[in-house]
């Protein structure tokens, strides 16, 4: 893993974005128990001096809460559940831009792809990560971000 893609910078950006944008506040995950169930996952590729991808994984109820907070509706509103995956993608998009700027500097050229999402049954923390994991506890639930250095360019991108 490149020194550029430091997880500590990703952690700081994530705390700020989740708190400011979705009213989700991060605590350290050091002593958090393993979490099993349904999860929302969003992944975004980036083309930069050190290309890679960032993945956000969060429990489904937390993704629903994020959707409700972003939409300005109640958690039990059907729109919140239907927009859990788009909310995870939007949160990741809001995290990725500032993270890339923190990693590469304001003058660097970089591009973000379009986030992909999926719902899945599994556990956190991820048992066999391919990159560096950053974990938090939000409202008592574990979330994680994983940054992976790919070393390859991506075609689907939107220039900053």
In a domain, 88, yes or no: yes
In a domain, 156, yes or no: no
Residue 153 has pLDDT above 80, yes or no: no
Q: CATH number for the domain including 91? A: 3.40.1550.10
Confidence at residue 2, expressed as pLDDT on a 0 to 100 scale: 57
Per-residue pLDDT, averaged over 57-77, amounts to 92
Confidence at residue 23, expressed as pLDDT on a 0 to 100 scale: 77
Domain that holds residue 141: 7-151
Spatial contact of 120 and 41, defined as CB atoms under 8 Å apart: yes
Helix (H) or strand (E) holding 22: helix 7-22
Which of 32-36, 72-76, 124-128, 135-139 bottoms out in mean pLDDT, i.e. has the lowest? Answer: 32-36
In a domain, 57, yes or no: yes
pLDDT range class, residue 120, cuts 50, 70, 90: very high
125: preceding bond cis by omega (within 30 degrees)? yes
d(CA 87, CA 65): 9
Per-residue pLDDT, averaged over 82-110, amounts to 94
Residue 135 has pLDDT above 60, yes or no: yes
In a domain, 81, yes or no: yes
* Strand, helix or coil for residue 75: coil
In a domain, 85, yes or no: yes
Which of 84-93, 133-142, 151-160 bottoms out in mean pLDDT, i.e. has the lowest? Answer: 151-160
Structural domain count of the chain: 1
User: For all residues of the chain together, what is the average pLDDT?
Assistant: 87
| pLDDT (tens digit per residue) in 18-63 | 888 777 788 887 766 788 999 999 999 999 999 999 999 999 999 9
Reported pTM: 0.87
In a domain, 111, yes or no: yes
Residue 155 has pLDDT above 80, yes or no: no
Residue 160 has pLDDT above 70, yes or no: no
Spatial contact of 43 and 53, defined as CB atoms under 8 Å apart: yes
In a domain, 2, yes or no: no
In a domain, 157, yes or no: no
Residue 71 has pLDDT above 50, yes or no: yes
């Amino acid at each position: 893993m490149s020194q550029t893609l430091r997880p500590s910078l990703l952690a700081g950006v994530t705390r700020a974005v989740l708190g400011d944008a979705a009213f989700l506040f991060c605590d350290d995950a050091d002593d958090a128990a393993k979490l099993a169930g349904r999860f929302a996952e969003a992944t975004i590729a980036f083309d930069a001096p050190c290309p890679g991808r960032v993945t956000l994984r969060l429990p489904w109820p937390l993704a629903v809460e994020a959707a409700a907070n972003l939409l300005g509706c109640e958690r039990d509103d059907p729109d919140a559940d239907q927009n859990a995956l788009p909310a995870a993608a939007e949160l990741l998009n809001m995290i990725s831009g500032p993270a890339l700027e923190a990693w590469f500097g304001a003058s660097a050229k970089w591009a973000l792809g379009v986030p992909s999402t999926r719902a899945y049954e599994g556990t956190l923390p991820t048992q066999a990560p391919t990159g560096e994991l950053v974990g938090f506890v939000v409202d008592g639930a574990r979330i994680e971000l994983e940054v992976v250095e790919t070393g390859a360019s991506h075609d689907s991108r939107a220039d900053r």
